[in-house]
Amino acid sequence: MDLSNRTILVTGASSGIGRAAAILLSGLGARVILTARNTERLTQTLGLMAAGDHVIEPFDLKDCEAIPQWMKELAERNGPLFGLVHSAGIEESGAIHTRKPEATRRVLCINLEAAIALSSGFCLRGVRSASGGSIVFLSSVMGLVGQPRKSVYSASKAGLIGLTKSLALELARQSVRVNCIAAGLVETEMTKEMLRLLSPAQVEAIRAMHPLGFGRPEDVASAIGFLLSDDSRWITGTTLVVDGGYTAH
């Protein structure tokens, strides 16, 4: 896989899968634009990456209406983008009858609405590379299967899968591929915090649902690199399941 001379924007690059993706992409020769809210953590990510002309561009994706214009300004400062990886996301659990509307909107905003706004910005004149490009969304196995207390999160991730299919058809004539990754439980800081709230027996029950065990951020980052590279040039509109066998049950 070779991403030399290609500029790729990675959201959620301050931790977890987004950080692992940025590190891997830099090793494949890409010039990576790192974005998240926390500048200090983005700087930490930058320090872990292979040498290159990478840049930090802090931004709060909750401001969805501002995303397309921000991306236009981003391209003016850094040149056109070849790739977009939307790794930023919120995972919240809770019974549906206890959910507050503002909590629901928060999850849908970052997980799904921001993805739509980022795609819109990516397609603006001067933002995307003239040669085409590749978009990768980070969905979840929760977008494919159900689980109690995950309704809103599952809805947001299932929405990404539908968005992927339609956008792939819409943007194919512009030589832009759109794909999605449905990840199982990956041991990021966020999921480790979640697991700490469970009993050892509950954690082992969840682990048993993953025949190959829990994943690492690098496992998903490798799939991201593949979908951005020319090695996947004939793949678009698909959801690549990277889940250690979770959905094989």
The neighbour count for residue 17, using CB atoms within 10 Å, is 29
Catalytic option among 153, 177, 224, 242 = 153
The 3-state DSSP class for residue 130 equals coil
Residue bearing tokens 């793949």: 235
Cα(8)–Cα(3) distance, rounded to whole angstroms? 9
Say whether 153 is catalytic.
yes
Let me know: does 82 contact 102? Beta carbons within 8 Å: no
- CA–CA distances in Å: residue 65 to residues 19, 115, 247: 25, 12, 35
Distance CA 247, CA 91 (A): 19
Enzyme catalytic residues = 153
